[in-house]
Amino acid sequence: MKWNLFNKKITAIFSVAIFFAVLMITSTFAGFITPVMAADEELELANIAKSANENTTLQLPRIIGSVDTPGHALDVFISGNHAFVAD
């Protein structure tokens, strides 16, 4: 029984390692950069998939401007595409 559980864990770890190795090789030779390869790069989109048949692209939030005000922010109110900060 113990040997069977150990064998299943090793198989699962090996399967995950193979999956990520294939993913990295595929993305490298396909000529595009994936988040795994995007070290020190700002990403604006994220691909999310629960299975191989699903693929959704999300727009990641980004800072488009900032203002340094005295004190600390007490509250934030979001309306549509705008965020209002109570200082």
Extents of the domains making up the chain: 1-61
User: For residue 62, which of 40, 37, 81, 39 has the smallest C-alpha distance?
Assistant: 81
Residue 41 has pLDDT above 80, yes or no: no
Binned at pLDDT 50, 70 and 90, residue 69 comes out as confident
- Residue 86's pLDDT is 83
- Residue 68's pLDDT is 80
pTM for the predicted model, two decimal places: 0.27
User: For residue 34, which of 21, 42, 24 has the smallest C-alpha distance?
Assistant: 24
Which tens digit of pLDDT belongs to each residue from 3-31?
A: 555 555 555 555 555 555 555 555 444 45
pLDDT: is 9 or 80 the higher one?
A: 80
- Residue 29's pLDDT is 47
Q: Output phi, psi for 56, to 5 deg.
A: -125, 135
